[in-house]
Amino acid sequence: MEIQARLHQIGTAIRGEGTLADVLVSAPRNGWPASCDYASEGTPVLSLGAVTGYRYRSTEFKRTSLPASKQGHFWLKPGDMLMTRSNTPELVGHVAIYDGNPSPCIYPDLMMRLELRAEIVERVFVWYWLQVSQTRDFINKHAKGTSPTMKKISQGTVMAIPFPSSLPLSEQRRIVAELDALQAKVDALKRAQAETAADLDALLPSVLNRAFAGAL
């Protein structure tokens, strides 16, 4: 089964009786609107590509030489969950978990950080939940913007996302384990397909040479 199909099943079977605000420490907060000048020794500032596609990409950042307050709220910590608040309709609201690289690192104004209440919610469960089709439908419905190619979501919209707030941690962890196992199988299949394709590409020149030489 494809991971997206299973996520849809989970979103249908589990009722989002609460909202995401129930499991947040505080309202989501935008990052720093830094102007990036690509200084070689500048501070890394994530670009939207770092969280697009629900996978964190540590190489997707720019640099700024502007001074940043050491006490600024925009410095990242490993495990922080980030969401794009402005992007195309298909990509707005994508989330990923910062893995600690690069470090130190700042998240930009076009992202929000979601601080979760670890005592009642499993971080990776939230990450999966924000990918289910029902959540995506909610985000797309409430995204605003006059341009058809660029939409924004507000802090209020993010906090209002339907969420199964009463789901026990044990059940959240069981679902995470199931989805992680399924994702591992999908990733392994993709790797095998890629390796097969590479093998065929490597074999093709030899086959063509033999064909043209009349050796087949």
What pLDDT digit, counting tens, does each position of 48-65 carry? 999 999 999 999 999 999
pTM for this predicted structure:
0.85
Burial of 37 (0-12, 13-18, 19+ CB in 10 A): exposed
What pLDDT digit, counting tens, does each position of 104-144 carry? 999 999 999 999 999 999 999 999 999 999 999 999 999 99
Q: What SS3 class is residue 93?
A: coil
For each of the domains in the chain, give its residue range(s) and CATH number, in order of start.
3-212 (3.90.220.20)
Number of other residues whose CB lies within 10 A of the CB of residue 23: 24
Do 51 and 96 contact (CB within 8 A), yes or no? yes
